[in-house]
Amino acid sequence: MNFSKAKGAASLVVAGAFVAAMLPGVSSASGAITSSALNTSYSTMLLPAIQSLAAHAKGGIGVILPDETSSTRYVEFDAPALTTAFSDAGLKTTQFNVQNAQGSDAIAIADAQADITAKDKVLIIDTEDAATAATIQKAANKAGVKVIDYDRLQSNGAVYVSFNNVSVGTLIGKGLLSCLSAWKVKSPLVYVMDGSATDPNAAQFASGYNAALNAAGYSAAEGGKGNAKTINENAGTWDPPTALKDFQGAYSANNKINAVVTPNDENAAPIISYLQGLGLKPKSVPFTGQDATLAGFQNILSGYQCGTVYKPSWQEAQAAAIAALYLDAGKKIPGSLLTGKTKLTGTSTMVPTVELGPTWVTTANIEATVIKDGVINKFALCTGVRPTVKGSHLPTYAQDCKTYGVK
């Protein structure tokens, strides 16, 4: 993402009399720093209080993102957002390292060990399973390195930075229900899909959308029996080809499936493409998603996906970067940045948390959210290409953009 960087003071409340004098309505006595006012200009990272933390860094900061396939967000959004946050705070490129484990536990562990050997003082990790996180946490503890859990809570780290995952799932479930009504889907038979069983986020997403669906008379539960309105996937996945294979098996067994809960845009995309190859018409079988991808929004515009959950990576990245800068400077993360504590799955441990809020985005608010924030480039979105659908000649994405007021 290429965000412009405003050099003026942010509206974020930051400690210090000098900063307070610069920011109207900020109390130097409160010493407060919050995540709610983080913005796409990254101006918070330019404030003297944040710059001072970077100037007093005691070591490097290593970031290990999970993969490039379960979601394009890690390459398109998170990596550049983290890089911008650290750079704007004043760190040199030699003082931080944003890596991607390529879906490999071994690479994640090797990257972490290399960062520790290089005398990094903070690791920001987003591992695909708890065992990998535990291995990294053990090595970090031995070396006196602080760990931040980014997006997934997998270890007993210093802080966990993420979005409210149950709320993400609730938005997905309610989004599908809204779409079923708006698209006038008759006798809905919903196929409910999930993310990987080893990912705690997937379980929390499912908790949200299952509750929303079940309150409306469905019987959603991973591997569950379902009911006359519900078919459940046996085992979830974050691998799009596997998700497609799972759907094809379910659809071959029952081609009356006419609505699909897909937990992210990436899993939805190949299934939508498969059905388009069979001649699926727009606004007949709704899909859901999250991660606000370009492909997801093109499916939304063309009438194949109801919406997607937008989780601003620029906000998550800055919150994680600020926490890392405090830890790297040997200082305590301010309580005002934290929103509470989250229980580490399978333990009684409560981890300090920075919890952020997601947004459900449809054709009605694309312009006011992801276009406005610079997350999606309207020229990349509104192209002269049209969906390839057997037996149909649909409008181009540019025509769809015009229809929905994306300018």
CATH number of the domain bearing residue 233: 3.40.50.2300
Does residue 278 share a domain with residue 171?
yes
Residues 292 and 371 in one domain: yes
Task: From residue 239, give the alpha-carbon distance in Å to each of 13, 171, 235, 265, 342.
Answer: 41, 22, 12, 11, 27
Q: Which residues contact 245 (CB under 8 A, 6 or more apart)?
A: none
**Within a domain: 4:** no
Q: Which pLDDT belongs to residue 34?
A: 85
Residue 364 inside a domain? The answer is yes
Q: Among residues 82, 5, 88, 86, which one has the least CA distance to residue 40? A: 5
- Separation of alpha carbons 254 and 231, rounded Å: 9
pLDDT value of residue 121: 97
Q: Please state whether beta strands 159-163 and 60-65 pair in parallel, antiparallel, or not at all (unpaired).
A: unpaired
**128 and 266 belong to one structural domain:** no
Assess whether 101 and 184 both reside in one domain: no
Instruction: Based on the fold, state whether residues 395 and 284 are members of the same structural domain.
Output: yes
SS3 106: helix
Q: Tokens 């994405």, residue?
A: 397
* pTM assigned to the model: 0.88
Give alpha helix (H) positions in 103-196.
105-117, 130-143, 165-182
In a domain, 250, yes or no: yes
Our CA dihedral for 395, 399, 404, 407, rounded to 10 degrees, sits at: 160
Q: Are residues 184 and 273 in the same domain?
A: yes
Cα(124)–Cα(37) distance, rounded to whole angstroms? 22
Same-domain pairing of 213 and 172: yes
Position 25 scores a pLDDT of: 26
- Do 232 and 372 fall into the same domain? yes
389 and 321 housed in the same domain: no
Q: Kindly give the confidence (pLDDT) of every residue in the chain, 407 residues in length, as a single tens digit, with 9 standing for 90 and above.
A: 443 333 333 333 333 333 333 332 222 334 467 888 799 999 989 989 999 999 999 999 999 999 987 778 899 999 999 999 999 999 999 999 999 999 999 999 999 999 999 999 999 999 988 899 999 999 999 999 999 999 999 888 999 999 999 999 999 999 999 999 999 999 999 999 999 998 989 999 999 999 999 999 999 998 899 999 999 999 999 999 999 999 999 999 999 999 999 999 999 999 999 999 999 999 999 999 999 999 999 999 999 999 999 999 999 999 999 999 999 999 999 998 999 999 988 889 999 999 999 999 999 999 999 999 999 999 999 999 999 999 999 999 999 999 999 98
The answer to whether residue 10 sits within a structural domain is: no
Q: Are residues 231 and 371 in the same domain?
A: yes
Residue 106 and residue 129 in contact, taking contact as beta carbons nearer than 8 Å: no
Task: List the domain range (segments joined by +) for residue 299.
Answer: 165-310+360-403
If one counts the domains in the chain, the total is 2
Same domain, yes or no, for 153 and 291? no
pLDDT of residue 22: 36
DSSP 8-class letter at 227: B
Taking the C-alpha atoms of residue 122 and residue 230, their distance in angstroms, rounded to an integer, is 45
Mark whether 247 and 384 lie in a shared domain. yes
3-state secondary structure of 148: strand
